[in-house]
Structure formats: C-alpha cells, structure tokens
Amino acid sequence: MRVGRGGMCLDVTELICRMLGADVQLLNPAAGAPAWLKYVDEVGKKPNHFLLGQMENMDNPKAHIDKTGPEIWAQTGGDIDYFVHGIGTGGCIQGVGTFLKSKKPECKIVALEPSEARVHTGAPMAKHGIVGWMPGFHSNFLEGAKWKDEGKELNDKPRGVVDEWGHVATPDGVVMCKELASKEGMLVGPSSGAAIKVALDIACRPEAKDKTIVVVVPSNAIRYTMHPLWGALKEEAGKALPSPPVSDKEAPVMQWDSANP
C-alpha cells in the first residue's frame, strides 16, 4: 500500500503504484503533515503492514554513508569541494555529508530549502512547489529538530554537517528546469532544477573557481506532468488539439506546429 498526500488528482507515481496492484490512499493536503504522519503511523501498526519510517529510520542516512557517499567519492576521485542537495527527509544530506567530511573535512555541504519555507533556519512553513523538499517540519537527521524544545534558536549559521543553508524560490527552480531541458537536453524535476541553479550560483563565486561541485538529480521531469512546470505547454497543446480529437476528414492535416503556436 502507498499512502500519499492528496491533490487535484493522482500523480504519475500513484498511478504506477495503482497499476501494479497497490492500494493507494490519498490524504487531505489541507490537514497538514502532523495529520498525515498520525494516519500513516496508525496504518503501519496494522497486521501485515510495514512502515519504512523514512523520516526517523536511521537506516536512511546510513544508506547514504554506506553507498551514495562512497559512490560520489569514487566517481570524483576524491576531488570534490561542494555537495549541494535539497532537504526532503534530510537523510541524503546527513549521510553523504558525514561520509565526505570523514574523507575531506574542508568539503562544503550545502543544504537547500524552498525560499518560501526555510524551516531549518527558523522561518515559518508556507506553500511552495519544489516537490520533494520541505514537507513542513524539520528533518530528524539534521541538527536542530529539537532545538526549539531546548530553547535554542534556529538560524542560517553552519551546524552539524551543514556548512550553508541555501534556498531557491519555486519560480526560479521551474525556470532552470526549462532552461536545462531546452539548452542541455536534461529533463529534470523541480527539485533538481532548483539544486542545479544553486550549484551554478556557487560556481560563479570567486572562491569556487576550478572547484568540483556535485548535485544529485533524483528524478525525471516526466514524473511531474501535473506540476506547473508543464502548465504552459499543456495549455498550448490543449488549445491546438481540442478534446475529443478532430474527426473532420476535411480539416487540415497540420493541427499543431509547436514552433509557430
């Protein structure tokens, strides 16, 4: 069974799970993360159910210490100066950061959030469109999850494995996705586009000249056809190709020339 946040409709991931026979249950997005987690925890306690618990399961960062970090180290030959990645569960940042710093303490770890929801620096949660980043609460793997209870203040200063808390506004991430697709042939999702934008910004810093910057690209943009990333194209195609399709045999053969909308 897959339990996901609900929206206007199923996304590609939920559709694939359903096609494979999974019981897909969508949750009310307005209920917020605490309600989702409570429901998921209740489901996970049922007989014959297993809850991965990716938000608190220490096997999450451990997998990146054991696998992802060493893979990056091997592929760069140890020549890595910056690791840039968005915060979802925080497991990848914590795991990769831990491994890289054990090999090269001066390697900079840059953790990213949406500009609209910089929760890890003490800002309030707000709506954003960088899917996969910032579900609405602090990562349990990065230092600071319990700081407020201890009377400590969250800020944008380095702590734990994180040297820099970067951020990207949703529209800027979408723009970068489109540029990567049209100019580089890289069809990436919103979080990847946002992370690459930050990496490019870092590369422009004087101190980053000739440095190696690594960004993880988790998924293809084809997973996000319901995202505003595809909105303009879908609107253009929808106007050119009405539904249902034209059945008039006397109509022009050419129905849509994307180069001349």
Establish if 251 belongs to a structural domain: no
Establish if 234 belongs to a structural domain: no
For 125-260, strand residue ranges (E) read 164-168, 213-215
64 with 23, same domain: the answer is no
19 with 91, same domain: the answer is no
| Angle, alpha carbons 147-88-129 (nearest 5°) | 115
Residue ranges in the chain modelled with pLDDT below 50: 6-9
Establish if 235 belongs to a structural domain: no
115 with 10, same domain: the answer is no
Q: In 10 A of CB 60, how many CB atoms?
A: 21
12 with 76, same domain: the answer is no
35 with 93, same domain: the answer is no
Cβ contact 164:111 at 8 Å: yes
104 with 136, same domain: the answer is yes
Burial class of 221 by CB neighbour count within 10 A (0 to 12, 13 to 18, 19+): buried
Question: Of 42, 99, 89, 90, nearest to 66 (Cα)?
Answer: 99
Q: What is the pTM of this model?
A: 0.84
Cβ contact 116:128 at 8 Å: yes
* Length in residues, the chain: 261
Q: What confidence score (pLDDT) does residue 132 get?
A: 85
32 with 69, same domain: the answer is no
Q: How many whole angstroms separate alpha carbon 54 and alpha carbon 140?
A: 10
Establish if 261 belongs to a structural domain: no
200 with 145, same domain: the answer is yes
Sequence-separated (6 or more) residues with CB below 8 Å from residue 122:
153, 154, 155
Q: How many whole angstroms separate alpha carbon 114 and alpha carbon 129?
A: 8
pLDDT digits (tens, 9 = 90+) for 71-81: 999 999 999 99
Q: Taking each helix axis as running N to C, give the angle between helix 170-179 and helix 190-203, from 0 to 180 degrees, rounded to the nearest 10.
A: 90
34 with 68, same domain: the answer is no
36 with 133, same domain: the answer is no
Establish if 67 belongs to a structural domain: yes
Q: How many whole angstroms separate alpha carbon 110 and alpha carbon 164?
A: 5
Establish if 49 belongs to a structural domain: no
39 with 67, same domain: the answer is no
CA distance from start to end of the chain: 43
Rg value, the chain, Cα: 21
Phi then psi dihedrals of residue 193, to 5 deg = -60, -40
CA atoms 107, 93, 213, 169: torsion sign: negative
167 with 81, same domain: the answer is yes
Q: How many whole angstroms separate alpha carbon 23 and alpha carbon 1?
A: 5
Placement of tokens 């190709």 in the chain: 241
Establish if 93 belongs to a structural domain: yes
Tally of structural domains, the chain: 2
Q: What confidence score (pLDDT) does residue 175 get?
A: 93
User: CATH number for the domain including 79?
Assistant: 3.40.50.1100
Q: What confidence score (pLDDT) does residue 6 get?
A: 47
Report the Cα 40 to chain-centroid distance in Å: 21
Cross-strand bridge partners of residue 82: 108, 213
Domain holding 168, by residue range, is 59-224
pLDDT digits (tens, 9 = 90+) for 41-100: 898 899 988 888 888 899 999 999 999 999 999 999 999 999 999 999 999 999 999 999
Establish if 50 belongs to a structural domain: no
